[in-house]
């Protein structure tokens, strides 16, 4: 949080706690993208069709893409570190012909450094941009953005939509969108897949969004396995939600129980920055390490995903090199897909057009 801010400026308001973003219901135009709770199967199908079409148009050097968001401005407002989310959104907007303004490293260089609260910073940005991509360490920050932008949009001519780039340990909705797009790419369907999430399922916002979005897709026969130490288990409200959608959930601390049966292995980093106690992190950081020897136990047609960045949870640098050469490792494709899915999302929320 901002160095000079008092607790009032740092806090997420009560309004954010009760704010519910609109469901997509087949229509993206003008809607904030704050949580995967806004999506149903049909919305994903629409978005993925657009992302696949955009990918094809990029690969065939279609110059018409730059007309899709010409004249639109995206603000990149990042108060936490990012490589992929920030760059893929910026690249997406530029490839669509739009412009980008950025307060990356927002804590240091925005007025939040002077103690401005998030809702004011959001509304200032909303005066200049058509879409704001926000990453912020507080859970609920993207809800705060949605609530205050709705107020602003009622007063100014040029409405602005918010897209969450991750709110603390809450959610990372666009990561989950690109993750499921990638699973479809590789497996063609979610039906009957055994999907295993491994690592820091407590603090990992990507797996929170992914587990829920898998449930909302309502595929048949999906099994979700959560592999984590007890202290880093998936929050119970998410496992309950997933089970309520008829998905069989297995929780274990031992990957060997499930790896041989798994179709999609989703590895995650232990989120060091979320631990208040460094000793607790040190005690747990080596619990799950993906190495070539572990991967040797996986199915021949399994896929290995990771939202990245990776650290020692994928072994040493030479383990990385061996894993990277394994055709089952698809995290580079996953990363690239992030840009196509984010392009599709920008076109949909800003223009609503078919691509
Ligand atoms: N890049 C992802 C995120 O922002 C995953 C991670 O940081 O471990 O949540």
Question: Taking the model in full, what pTM does it have?
Answer: 0.95
Same domain, yes or no: 299 and 184: yes
Lookup: tokens for 45: 């199908």
Q: What is the pLDDT along the chain (355 residues), one digit of tens a residue?
A: 333 344 555 568 989 889 999 999 999 999 999 999 999 999 999 999 999 999 999 999 999 999 999 999 999 999 998 999 999 999 999 999 999 998 766 666 677 777 889 999 999 999 999 999 999 999 999 999 999 999 999 999 999 999 999 999 999 999 999 999 999 999 999 999 999 999 999 999 999 999 999 999 999 999 999 999 999 999 999 999 999 999 999 999 999 999 999 999 999 999 999 999 999 999 999 999 999 999 999 999 999 999 999 999 999 999 999 999 999 999 999 999 999 999 999 999 999 988 8
User: Does the active-site annotation cover 15?
Assistant: no
Interval between CA 316 and ligand 1 midpoint (Å): 19
Distance of CA 197 to the CA centre of its chain: 15
Q: Which of 141, 70, 74 is nearest to 103 (CA)?
A: 74
Q: What is the position in ligand 1's atom list of the atom closest to the CA of 172?
A: 9
Alpha helices in 154-277 (DSSP H): 173-187, 205-217, 236-244
Interval between CA 267 and ligand 1 midpoint (Å): 11
Domain-embedded: residue 9: no
**Strand stretches in 13-172, DSSP E:** 73-78, 99-102, 131-136, 161-167
Residue for token pair 């603390």: 168
Lookup: tokens for 26: 């087949």
Residue 305 phi/psi, 5° resolution?
Answer: -115, 160
In degrees, rounded to 5, the angle at the alpha carbon of residue 215 between the alpha carbons of residues 211 and 220 is 125
Same domain, yes or no: 290 and 345: no
Give the CATH number of the domain where residue 283 resides: 3.40.50.1370
User: Does the active-site annotation cover 114?
Assistant: yes
Residues in the chain, overall count: 355
Q: What is the position in ligand 1's atom list of the atom closest to the CA of 200?
A: 8
Range of the domain at 320: 173-335
Interval between CA 238 and ligand 1 midpoint (Å): 18
Q: What is the position in ligand 1's atom list of the atom closest to the CA of 204?
A: 9
* Beta bridge partner(s), residue 24: none
Domain-embedded: residue 2: no
Domain-embedded: residue 6: no
Interval between CA 354 and ligand 1 midpoint (Å): 30
CA distance linking residue 245 with residue 237, whole number of Å: 13
Same domain, yes or no: 163 and 119: yes
Same domain, yes or no: 137 and 22: yes
User: Does the active-site annotation cover 61?
Assistant: no
| Residue of minimum CA distance from atom 8 in ligand 1 | 269
Same domain, yes or no: 45 and 136: yes
Same domain, yes or no: 142 and 230: no
- Cα–Cα distances (Å) from 239 to 204, 221, 306, 331, in that order, read 14, 16, 20, 25
CA distance linking residue 215 with residue 208, whole number of Å: 11
Same domain, yes or no: 148 and 99: yes
Question: Is the CB of 206 inside a 6 Å radius of any atom of ligand 1?
Answer: yes
Interval between CA 138 and ligand 1 midpoint (Å): 14
The active-site residue out of 114, 248, 256, 297 is 114
Number of domains composing the chain? 2
Same domain, yes or no: 93 and 231: no
Q: What share of the chain is helix, strand, coil (3-state, %, to 5)?
A: 50, 15, 40
């Amino acid at each position: 949080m901002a160095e000079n801010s008092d607790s009032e400026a740092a806090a997420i308001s009560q309004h954010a706690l009760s704010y519910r973003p609109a469901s997509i219901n087949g229509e993206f135009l003008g809607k904030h993208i704050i949580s995967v709770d806004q999506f149903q199967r049909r919305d994903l199908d629409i978005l993925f069709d657009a992302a696949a079409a955009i990918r094809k148009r990029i690969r065939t050097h279609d110059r018409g893409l730059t007309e899709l968001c010409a004249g639109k401005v995206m603000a990149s407002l990042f108060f936490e570190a990012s490589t992929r989310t920030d760059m893929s959104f910026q690249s997406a907007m530029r490839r669509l012909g739009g412009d980008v303004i950025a307060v990356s490293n927002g804590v240091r260089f925005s007025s939040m450094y002077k103690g401005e609260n998030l809702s004011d910073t959001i509304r200032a940005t909303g005066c200049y941009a058509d879409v704001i991509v926000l990453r912020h360490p507080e859970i609920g920050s993207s809800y705060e953005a949605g609530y205050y932008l709705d107020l602003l949009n009622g007063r100014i001519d040029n409405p602005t939509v918010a897209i969450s780039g991750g709110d603390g340990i809450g959610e990372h909705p666009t990561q989950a969108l690109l993750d499921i797009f990638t699973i479809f790419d590789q497996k063609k369907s979610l039906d009957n897949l055994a999907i295993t999430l491994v690592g820091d399922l407590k603090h990992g916002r990507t797996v929170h969004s992914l587990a829920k979005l898998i449930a909302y897709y309502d595929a048949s026969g999906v099994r979700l396995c959560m592999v984590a130490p007890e202290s880093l288990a998936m929050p119970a409200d998410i496992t309950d939600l997933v089970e309520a959608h008829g998905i069989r959930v297995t929780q274990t601390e031992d990957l060997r129980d499930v790896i041989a049966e798994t179709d999609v292995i989703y590895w995650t980093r232990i989120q060091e920055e979320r631990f208040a106690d460094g000793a607790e992190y040190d005690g747990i950081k080596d619990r799950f390490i993906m190495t070539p020897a572990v991967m040797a136990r996986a199915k021949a047609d399994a896929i290995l995903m990771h939202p990245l960045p990776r650290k020692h949870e994928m072994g040493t640098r030479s383990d990385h090199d061996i894993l990277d050469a394994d055709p089952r490792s698809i995290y580079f494709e996953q990363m690239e897909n992030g840009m196509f899915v984010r392009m599709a999302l920008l076109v949909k929320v800003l223009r609503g057009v078919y691509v």
